[in-house]
Amino acid sequence: MAYDLGDGASVGRIDATVFSVGWNTKYLVAARHPYSIRSKTEYYYLIRALDAPYEDPDVSVRGPFDDRAFSRERGRLKLPGFQLEIESMK
């Protein structure tokens, strides 16, 4: 996941391979397979109020979390569900 800055430039937030995302006004959530290893899933969330194209991602991005830790964060913060998934990458 990245900010598109135009003219082919971008600023990364969550490295590949993201296969599922969700969002609300406060947060963006993402699930990814690190290094395209489908047997492993990591979860992240981004705090939208702390993020900006040139902001250090360490300020706004939290993770990686495993299933259990992400579930706790989801309950604690009322994180959104996943709304878009790329089935072929799941």
Residue-wise pLDDT tens digits, 21-75 = 999 999 999 999 998 899 999 999 999 999 998 889 999 999 999 999 999 999 9
Q: Which domain holds residue 14?
A: 2-89
pLDDT at residue 21, rounded to an integer? 96
What span, in angstroms and rounded, lies between the C-alpha atoms of 64 and 72? 13
Residue 64 contacts by C-beta under 8 Å, 6 or more apart in sequence?
Answer: 32, 34, 42, 43, 44
Q: How far apart are CA 27 and CA 67, in angstroms?
A: 18
Q: What letter does residue 12 receive in the DSSP assignment?
A: E
Residue 89 has pLDDT above 90, yes or no: no
Structural domains of the chain, count: 1
Across 28-50, b (16+ Cβ under 10 Å) vs e yields: bbbbbbeeeeeeebbbbbbeeee
Token pair for residue 26? Answer: 């406060």
Q: pLDDT at position 81, please?
A: 97
Return the residue matching tokens 């009322």: 78
Q: What is the pLDDT of residue 16?
A: 83
